[in-house]
C-alpha cells in the first residue's frame, strides 16, 4: 500500500471500476456510497469502508464520481464538510456544469482545500480496466499530485488549463459532439433503410473508410442493429449532457442549434419509455420520424 489514503465517493458503474483500479495499483482506498452493496464489493477487494463523508474527507486526497450537479452540490459542496476536512485535495471526476465547477472551486478555496476537475472518457468496462482518458484542469501542482491516481485509473491524462471549469468545458463539448454523431448516424441509417440499403452495411463501410474509430464503429453498430441494451451510458445522462452544453453556450452567447434538436430528440425518446436504455436509443426517434418500425 502507499503511505497515503485516497477517499472515494460515488461507486456507481464508473466509480466502482475506478476505485478498483486504485486498489490494484496499491493505493489505500476509503470508500463511501449512498447504497451499501458497492461498498461491500470494494471492501472485498481490500478497500476500507467509510461510515460518513466526514471520514472520507479525512483522507489525504478525495476522489469523487457522482452522477450530476445535484448530487455534487448536495453531498460535497457542504460548508460544514469542507470546513472540517483534513484533506487538502479533492479531485472531482464527474461531468458537471461549468457553473458548478466555478462554485466548487471558490468554495473549496475558501476552506483551504485544493480542487481539480478530471472528468473522463470511457464506459464502465474501460473504467474497470484502468484505461480511461482523463480530462484534467486545475493548479499544475495539484494536477502533479493527482497524477499517480490518474495513472492508475487511465491510460492518458489530457490537461486543459489551470481552472477546473476548463476540464468540464472540454468534457461537455466532447459529449455534445458524441450526441451529434449518434444523431447523424441515426438519420443516415434511416435514409439508407428507407431506400433499401441495410444500415449495418452502411455503418461497416463508413467506419472502415471515412470515419474509422470506436465512435462510428461502436455506436454505429448499436444504431444500425437497434441494439440499445444493456446501457453503457443511460439516455437520461445523455439528455443531461446536452443540457449542460446548451447552458454553457447560453452563458457565453454561443448558439448551438444542433443542441436544441438533440434535446427534443432525447425528450421524445424518454417520452416513449426509453429511459433505461443506452443513449444510442435516441436513434429510435429518427426512425419514428422516418416512418420506420422501432
Cβ–Cβ under 8 Å, residues 62 and 5: no
* pLDDT given for residue 1 in this prediction: 41
List Cβ neighbours of 24 (8 Å cut-off, separation of 6 or more). 130, 152
The per-residue pLDDT for 4 is 80
Q: Quick check: is 277 catalytic?
A: no
> Average of pLDDT values for 82-98?
97
At residue 60 the predicted structure's pLDDT band, cuts being 50, 70 and 90, is very high
Predicted confidence (pLDDT) at residue 3 exceeds the cutoff of 90? no
Q: Which residue is catalytic, options 123, 165, 171, 234?
A: 171
Q: Look over the chain and give the mean of its residue pLDDT values, rounded to a whole number.
A: 97
* pLDDT tens-digit map of 263-283: 999 999 999 999 999 999 999
Q: Is this structure's pTM higher than 0.75?
A: yes
**CATH top-level class of 168-289:** mainly alpha
Query: Alpha-carbon dihedral of residues 182, 228, 155, 45, nearest 10 degrees?
Result: 160
The tens digit of pLDDT for each residue in 135-146 reads 999 999 999 999
* Domain range summary for the chain, segments of one domain joined by +: 5-162, 168-289
- Strand 120-121 relative to strand 28-32, pairing: unpaired
Superfamily for 5-162?
NAD(P)-binding Rossmann-like Domain (3.40.50.720)
Amino acid at each position: 500500500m502507499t503511505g497515503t489514503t485516497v477517499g472515494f465517493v460515488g461507486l456507481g458503474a464508473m466509480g466502482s471500476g475506478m476505485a478498483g483500479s486504485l486498489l490494484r495499483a496499491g493505493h489505500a482506498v476509503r470508500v463511501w456510497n449512498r447504497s451499501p452493496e458497492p461498498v461491500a464489493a470494494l471492501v472485498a477487494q481490500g478497500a476500507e469502508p467509510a461510515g460518513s463523508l466526514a471520514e472520507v474527507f479525512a483522507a489525504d486526497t478525495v476522489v469523487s464520481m457522482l452522477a450530476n450537479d445535484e448530487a455534487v452540490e448536495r453531498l460535497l459542496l457542504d460548508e460544514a464538510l469542507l470546513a472540517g476536512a483534513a484533506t487538502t485535495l479533492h479531485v472531482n471526476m464527474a461531468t458537471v456544469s461549468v457553473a458548478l465547477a466555478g462554485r466548487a472551486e471558490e468554495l473549496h478555496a475558501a476552506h483551504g482545500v485544493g480542487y481539480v476537475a478530471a472528468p473522463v472518457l470511457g464506459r464502465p468496462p474501460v473504467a474497470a480496466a484502468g484505461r480511461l482518458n482523463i480530462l484534467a484542469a486545475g493548479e499544475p501542482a495539484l494536477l502533479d499530485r493527482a497524477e499517480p491516481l490518474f495513472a492508475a485509473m487511465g491510460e492518458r491524462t489530457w490537461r486543459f488549463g489551470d481552472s477546473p471549469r476548463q476540464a468540464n468545458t472540454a468534457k461537455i463539448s466532447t459529449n455534445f459532439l458524441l450526441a451529434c454523431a449518434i444523431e447523424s448516424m441515426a438519420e443516415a441509417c434511416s435514409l439508407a433503410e428507407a431506400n433499401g440499403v441495410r444500415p449495418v452495411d452502411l455503418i461497416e463501410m463508413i467506419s472502415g473508410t471515412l470515419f474509422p474509430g470506436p465512435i462510428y464503429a461502436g455506436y454505429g453498430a448499436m444504431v444500425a442493429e437497434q441494439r440499445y441494451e444493456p446501457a453503457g451510458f443511460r439516455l437520461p445522462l445523455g439528455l443531461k449532457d446536452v443540457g449542460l452544453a446548451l447552458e454553457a453556450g447560453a452563458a457565453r452567447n454561443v448558439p448551438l442549434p444542433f443542441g436544441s434538436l438533440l434535446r427534443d430528440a432525447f425528450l421524445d425518446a424518454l417520452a416513449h419509455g426509453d429511459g433505461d436504455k443506452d443513449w444510442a436509443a435516441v436513434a429510435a426517434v429518427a426512425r419514428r420520424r422516418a416512418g420506420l418500425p422501432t
